[in-house]
């Protein structure tokens, strides 16, 4: 906790270093409560229903879904883009905010990055099953084969394969290497031998040596430098899936920046939804403070406003281009049969985040929680609007069609929530939700105060 007349402390309470260790480790040491078991059970059941429906789809084919020849991409691709977008907040917090030296990220980066990894796992499921023949999914990788064919490197769908795979692997590496010191901390606090051994294995034999820290810091900085352009590239490439096609409503150059800011926008909303509950459930209110929520809300205003400008620019360009197909596509979005989806999107994504200009609302947890759910819904509808309304009016009016998901598609989407929360529930019991070492490194003067020593005056500029 640094001393600054203008900024509030990063963590509340007079915490010593061992207080931080004990507070963060409390959920790992304690016996899980009834609420945790209830949550995990529900998640696992929903996940299994989802998996069963994936099996049903693979067995009977894509005909079990509501997609048809006009609307070939339905909920599945909507969900894919949505989940990938959710993941972006974690990398944004851990990499881009690290490069910008935003110290408030230390309390939330661990859980946000975990969320990234789980969200990308959920996202990856959809294109795989959408390809129809799951056992042949490995065809997407370029490997020497008897067909002597290679994959099509000109296709944005293939770029996606590389982007999502790299994103998943690098995020996992970044997250895990950040966890190593904290796993060492858990190992040394564990009483039972087998737990000690397991955590030692996971911590790679960490012992806190200054040399290791020196290399760890240098590595983390470069990894952040690599992950920052990576996270921007991922949703850019996802947007290429649409932007490089010749469908009115998809064929726009604004898509890459618009998708990236939309992704960070929805990702932060999801982090807020999870964190507001987690901080309460795990008793971490002093670490994830109202100040953190406010900082995240500021990112939401910024990215939400970019998304709003992008929507309006799209409308303007459709009119200004003078292309009748383009004009029709946007008129149809706003006034056609899917207008309800368009206006849900507009309300949730453009209007609702603007309320956060009011400081009282920005610091109000209940309001933020509700708003974050609205944004999640709005961003899901954004992808639905892009995917479905652009497709349902073909160039040939005889091909015009409507799309409605079947129960199978709904169950698979719910199943990914089951998967996400199952992993999250396990995560909060096994790994530290807050990066202990990083929080300790920003809690210096607080510790000195606790020890009854004079707080050294620090340059506020560096904080």
Partner 1 sequence: MGAIIYGHFTDELELLDAVKELKDKGIRIADVRTPFPVHGLDAALKFPRSHLPKVAFVAGVIGGSLGLLFQVWVFTKGWPLNIGGKPHLSLPSFVPVTFELTILFAAFAMGIAFLLRSNLGPGKIPDILDEEVTNDHFQVILTVKNNSLSEVELAEALAATGALDVKQVNEEK
Instruction: Give the binding site for partner 1 (CB under 8 A).
Output: 16-18, 21, 142, 148-150, 152-154, 156, 158-159, 162-163, 165-166, 169-170, 173-174, 177, 180-181, 184-185, 187-189, 200-202, 204-219, 222-223, 226-227, 229-230, 233, 237, 240, 436-438, 440-441, 444, 447-448, 451, 453, 456
Phi-psi region of 247 (alpha: psi -120 to 50; beta: other; left: phi over 0): beta
What is the nearest approach in angstroms of partner 1 to the Cβ of residue 238?
A: 11
E strands present in 352-440: none
Tell me whether residue 59 or residue 153 sits nearer to partner 1 (CB atom).
153
**Which helix (H) or strand (E) segment is 365 a member of?**
helix 365-384
Provide long-range contacts, Cβ within 8 A and 24+ apart, for 57-61.
57/129, 57/408, 57/412, 58/129, 58/134, 61/132
Least CB distance from residue 246 to partner 1, whole Å?
A: 12
CB of 284 to partner 1, least distance (A): 18
Least distance in angstroms from the C-beta of 268 to partner 1: 23
Nearer CB in complex with partner 1: 34/101: 101
Q: Answer for the pair 400, 393: CB distance below 8 angstroms, yes or no.
A: yes
3-state secondary structure of 300: helix
Taking the complex as a whole, the smallest distance from the CB of residue 132 to partner 1 amounts, in Å, to 22
Please report how close the Cβ of residue 408 comes to partner 1 at its closest, in angstroms. 33
Host H or E run for residue 148: none
Q: Which two tokens stand for residue 172?
A: 């996992």
Instruction: Specify the residue, 107 or 376, whose C-beta has the smaller distance to partner 1.
Output: 107
The answer to whether the CB of 142 falls within 8 A of the CB of 151 is yes
The answer to whether the CB of 433 falls within 8 A of the CB of 132 is no
Q: CB-wise, 252 or 445, nearer to partner 1?
A: 445
Residue 258: CB minimum distance to partner 1, A: 18
d(CA 201, CA 294): 38
Q: How many CB atoms lie within 10 A of CB 264?
A: 27
In 10 A of CB 305, how many CB atoms? 17
- The nearer residue to partner 1, 132 or 208, going by C-beta atoms, is 208
Q: Which CB, 235 or 362, lies closer to partner 1?
A: 235
Distance CA 87, CA 47 (A): 19
Q: Which one, 31 or 191, has the nearer CB to partner 1?
A: 191
């Amino acid at each position: 906790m640094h001393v600054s007349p203008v900024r509030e402390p990063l963590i509340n309470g007079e915490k010593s270093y061992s207080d931080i260790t004990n507070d963060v480790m409390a959920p790992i040491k304690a016996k899980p409560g009834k609420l945790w078991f209830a949550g995990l059970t529900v998640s696992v059941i929903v996940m299994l229903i989802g998996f069963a429906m994936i099996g049903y789809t693979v067995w009977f084919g894509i005909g079990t879904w509501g997609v048809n020849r006009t609307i070939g991409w339905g909920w599945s691709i909507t969900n894919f883009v949505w989940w990938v977008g959710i993941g972006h907040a974690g990398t944004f917090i851990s990499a881009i905010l690290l490069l910008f030296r935003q110290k408030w990220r230390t309390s939330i980066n661990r859980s946000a990055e975990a969320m990234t990894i789980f969200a990308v796992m959920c996202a990856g499921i959809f294109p795989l099953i959408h390809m129809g023949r799951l056992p042949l999914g490995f065809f997407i990788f370029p490997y020497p084969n008897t067909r002597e064919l290679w994959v099509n490197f000109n296709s944005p769908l293939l770029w996606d394969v590389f982007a999502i795979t790299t994103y998943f692997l690098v995020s996992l590496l970044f997250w895990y290497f950040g966890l190593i010191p904290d796993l060492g901390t858990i190992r040394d606090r564990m009483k039972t031998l087998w737990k000690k051994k397991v955590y030692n294995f996971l911590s790679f034999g960490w012992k806190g040596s200054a040399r290791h820290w020196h290399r760890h810091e240098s590595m983390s900085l470069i990894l952040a430098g690599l992950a920052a352009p990576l996270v921007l590239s991922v949703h850019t490439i996802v947007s290429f899936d649409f932007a490089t096609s010749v469908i009115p409503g998809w064929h726009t150059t604004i898509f890459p920046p618009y998708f990236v800011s939309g992704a960070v926008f929805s990702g932060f909303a999801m982090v807020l939804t999870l964190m507001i509950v987690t901080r309460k459930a795990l008793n971490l209110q002093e670490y994830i403070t109202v100040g953190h929520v406010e900082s995240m809300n500021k990112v939401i205003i910024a990215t939400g406003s970019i998304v709003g400008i992008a929507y309006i620019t799209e409308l303007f360009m459709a009119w200004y281009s003078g292309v009748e197909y383009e004009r029709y596509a946007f008129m149809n979005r706003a006034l056609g049969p899917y207008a309800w989806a368009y206006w849900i999107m507009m309300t949730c994504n453009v209007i609702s985040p603007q309320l956060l200009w009011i400081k009282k609302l920005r610091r109000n947890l209940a309001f933020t929680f509700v708003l974050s759910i609205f944004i999640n819904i709005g961003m899901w509808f954004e992808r639905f609007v892009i995917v479905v309304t652009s497709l349902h009016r073909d160039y040939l009016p005889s091909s015009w069609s409507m799309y409605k998901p079947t129960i199978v598609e709904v169950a698979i989407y719910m199943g990914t929530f089951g998967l996400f929360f199952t992993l999250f529930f396990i995560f909060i019991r096994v790994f530290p939700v807050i990066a202990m070492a990083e929080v300790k490194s920003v809690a210096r003067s607080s510790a000195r105060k606790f020890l009854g020593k004079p707080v050294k005056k620090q340059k506020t500029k560096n904080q």
